[in-house]
Chain A
Amino acid sequence: MKYKNNRIGSAVLACGTLVGMLLLSATARADDIPPLEERLQLCAGCHNPDGNSVIPGNPKLSGLDAKYIARQLSDFKEGKRVSEVMASIIPMVDEKEFKPLAAYFSKQKRTDGVPEKADLVAAGKQIFDEGVIGTAAPACAGCHNEDGSGSNKFPRLSGQDPTYVKAQMLNFKNAVRNNDPKAVMQAVAKRLNEQEIEAVAEYIVTLKEAE
């Protein structure tokens, strides 16, 4: 799959998909839930069929905890997590589909990523493993694990797209993303400046799942 490597690309795609799906859903009855394979085609446009998106700004969904995915989907639906793109998609998806979609993506294997600015990786590793003592920013590794593999409490970060990670960190910092039930990521992000956020995002994309 080849898309233009920018956010406009995904926005154009979003609009296209949106119009198409709205037409479809207008004719479909409310309780008409499509089979999972059919629904996955909608997600695949932006997140790839195996959840390993290749478009900067779009997150990889592969290997994320199923409960985490399902919670994000219902937060998008209820407007608790703000994203223009996902807000245009989620009205087409019924709540009953969240669990099977989440289960599907959680079982996909996360692919490796490539940093955009390799010179920032070392500084990013320092922040990820040790935190920032001066501002008392805790080490990311403490919660998300040293290899970024995460757990049922903390989402997987390894190999995640740096543009997405940067945007999310800024969203946490500015309280735009404030649906974290433990409310800890806002506290973490507020203690990092933009340079530190960029560096840590460049390190995160290099993290690989241990075999």
Chain B
Amino acid sequence: MKNILLIIFVALFSLQAGAAAAAEAYTPKVYGKKGYVWDEMTPERVQVLKMGGDVDRGKDSFRGCRGCHKADAAGVREGVYPRLTGQHASVLIKQITEIRAGIRSNPKMLPFVEDPAIAMEEIGDIAAYLSALTSVRENGKGAENMSARGKKLYNDNKCYTCHGKNGEGNAAKAYPVVAAQHYGYLIREMKLIKHGTRGNSNPGMVKAIAKFTEADYEAVADYLARLPDYRTVVVSK
């Protein structure tokens, strides 16, 4: 529900900008290259946010994604395919439109998410559907419990300023949920973001993660993987 409200909110603000921007040809600006701005509102993203999303239509559109992300959208334990359940709609829309625009590199998935496999009209629907799902299948974790060290690293490096105390991210700012994700995926993404190869790195995060060693990645990933779904955490005032 919150996500839907956010979508409507953002949509109202971007109505005018969107109409003008969509008319011009768009060239992707990738992290590390001239002109890159993190969280740039691409013409397609503006349009998608404007359209909102329908959960039932999203379920149908997601059929073409199940071959990798699985029927329950919980991905695979080894983390090759991430869990998409409960991710903020704003984040899903950002990632999908940036993959389609060639900003976030994801050649494995591209043929199945680009036009014509998925039409622009379906993106908001898919995001609405996935953000409302909960996972019941167990996620991948580290071989041993490293969450005490991981928690310290997470707090010392102020990861929570963006990803929240419970790994809940921030829907309004499009910071992803990182709690209860697969261990293998978390490690891979931290490295891809640090090295810029993902294409849509957040500069603040690149700084926060600059000194991470192999053991640090593992400890933080294990800590985050062992966190419960943020929606089940009761926040004490």
B92 to chain A, nearest CB (A): 18
Chain B, interface residues (CB within 8 Å), range? 10 to 19
A45 to B67: give the CA distance in the assembly, Å: 36
A141 to B68: give the CA distance in the assembly, Å: 10
| B63/A154 in contact, CB under 8 A | yes
B210 at the interface (CB under 8 A from A): no
| A136/B64 in contact, CB under 8 A | no
* B66 proximity list for chain A (CB < 8 A): 139, 141-143
A181 at the interface (CB under 8 A from B): yes
Q: Which of B57-95 contact A (CB under 8 A)?
A: 60, 63-68, 70-71, 76, 78, 80
Bitwise interface map of A from 141 to 160 toward B, beta carbon under 8 Å scored 1, else 0: 11100000001011000000
Q: Which residue of A lies closest to B70 (CB)?
A: A142
Q: Given A142-B68, A183-B117, check contact A151 B112 (CB 8 Å).
A: no
Bitwise interface map of A from 170 to 210 toward B, beta carbon under 8 Å scored 1, else 0: 00000000000111101110000000000000000000000
A181 to B109: give the CA distance in the assembly, Å: 17
A interface, CB within 8 angstroms of B? 131, 133, 136, 138-143, 151, 153-154, 181-184, 186-188
Q: Given A183-B117, A187-B112, check contact A143 B67 (CB 8 Å).
A: yes
Q: A138-B67, A143-B64 given; name 7 further pairs at CB < 8 Å.
A: A131-B68, A136-B68, A142-B64, A143-B67, A153-B64, A184-B112, A184-B117
* A186 proximity list for chain B (CB < 8 A): 111
Q: Which residue of A lies closest to B119 (CB)?
A: A182
Could you list 24 A-B pairs, sorted by A, with CB under 8 Å? A133-B76, A133-B78, A138-B67, A138-B112, A139-B68, A141-B66, A142-B63, A142-B64, A142-B68, A142-B70, A143-B64, A143-B66, A143-B67, A151-B63, A153-B60, A181-B116, A182-B116, A182-B117, A184-B64, A184-B111, A186-B111, A187-B111, A187-B112, A188-B67
* A184 proximity list for chain B (CB < 8 A): 64, 111-112, 117
| A136/B108 in contact, CB under 8 A | yes
* B65 proximity list for chain A (CB < 8 A): 142
A207 to B76: give the CA distance in the assembly, Å: 24
Q: Which of A133, A138, A182 has the most CB of B within 10 A?
A: A138
* A133 proximity list for chain B (CB < 8 A): 76, 78, 80
Q: Given A184-B112, A187-B111, check contact A142 B67 (CB 8 Å).
A: yes
| B63/A183 in contact, CB under 8 A | no
Q: Which of B67, B111, B112, B117 has the most CB of A within 10 A?
A: B67
A141 to B108: give the CA distance in the assembly, Å: 18
Q: Which residue of A lies closest to B61 (CB)?
A: A153
Bitwise interface map of B from 201 to 213 toward A, beta carbon under 8 Å scored 1, else 0: 0000000000000
A122 to B117: give the CA distance in the assembly, Å: 30
* B71 proximity list for chain A (CB < 8 A): 142
A140 to B67: give the CA distance in the assembly, Å: 6
| B116/A141 in contact, CB under 8 A | no
Q: In the A-B complex, list the 6 residue pairs whose CB atoms are closest, starting with the nearest.
A: A138-B67, A142-B67, A142-B66, A187-B111, A136-B108, A139-B67
* B116 proximity list for chain A (CB < 8 A): 181-183
A97 to B208: give the CA distance in the assembly, Å: 66
Q: Which residue of A lies closest to B65 (CB)?
A: A142
A154 to B70: give the CA distance in the assembly, Å: 16
| B68/A143 in contact, CB under 8 A | no
